[in-house]
């Protein structure tokens, strides 16, 4: 059974800027440590990715999988789910929720639910989830706030 974990971070940019980075799947290998390759498999008519193939290598875990994406009309929410089980995952569901703050920053809330194909003690799984989410949010913040970032 998959457990859901949630973490938030404040990013020094507008929700539109954060959404642009999240939706630019081709650049993920440039700024996310574990992602080796991405490929947009399908797009919606508006050009946003509907399915993306990821190849990851996080040292102890390497995997290739396809995620299906859905977007709120104003891009305040980006959510995804695993299209089919992979070598390491039975299921994956996640989302980014973006809320603009009065000071021009954005609160990004990342929710992730993963059920692994391999057994892992709950304590270790929760620690791994926290590390993955913490790293993902910090890398997103660094990319969005980088000088000269598009």
Q: Long-range contacts made by residues 90-97, C-beta under 8 angstroms, separation at least 24?
A: 90/2, 90/115, 90/116, 90/117, 91/2, 91/115, 92/65, 92/67, 93/2, 93/4, 96/18, 96/22
Compute the average pLDDT of residues 90-117: 94
Per-residue pLDDT tens for 36-45? Answer: 999 999 999 9
Domain that holds residue 88: 5-145
Least confident of 27-31, 73-77, 111-115: 111-115
pLDDT given at position 141: 96
Report yes or no: 146 and 13 within 8 Å, Cβ to Cβ: no
In a domain, 76, yes or no: yes
* Average pLDDT over the chain, rounded to an integer: 89
Number of domains in the chain: 1
In a domain, 136, yes or no: yes
pLDDT given at position 135: 83
Higher pLDDT, 90 or 131: 90
Per-residue pLDDT tens for 14-38? Answer: 999 999 999 999 999 999 988 999 9
In a domain, 97, yes or no: yes
Taking the C-alpha atoms of residue 13 and residue 2, their distance in angstroms, rounded to an integer, is 32
- Judged against a pLDDT cut of 60, whether residue 59 lies above it is answered with yes
Compute the average pLDDT of residues 129-147: 86
Region label for 134, one of left (φ > 0), alpha (ψ between -120 and 50) or beta (otherwise) = alpha
In a domain, 90, yes or no: yes
Which CATH number belongs to the domain containing residue 78 in this structure? 3.30.530.20
Range from 96-100, 112-116, 128-132 that averages highest in pLDDT: 96-100
């Amino acid at each position: 059974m998959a457990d859901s974990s949630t973490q938030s971070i404040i990013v020094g940019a507008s929700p539109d800027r954060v959404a642009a980075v999240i939706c630019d799947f081709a650049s993920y290998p440039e700024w996310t440590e574990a992602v080796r390759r991405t490929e947009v498999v399908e797009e919606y008519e508006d050009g946003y990715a509907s399915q993306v193939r990821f190849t990851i290598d996080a040292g102890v875990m390497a995997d290739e999988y396809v995620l299906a994406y859905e977007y709120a009309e104003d891009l305040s929410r980006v959510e995804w789910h695993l299209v089919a089980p992979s070598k390491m995952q039975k299921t994956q569901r996640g989302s980014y929720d973006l809320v603009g703050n009065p000071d021009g920053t954005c609160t990004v809330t990342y929710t992730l639910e993963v059920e692994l194909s391999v057994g892992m003690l709950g304590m270790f799984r929760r620690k791994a989830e926290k590390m993955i989410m913490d790293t993902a949010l910090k890398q997103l913040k660094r990319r969005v706030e980088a000088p000269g970032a598009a």
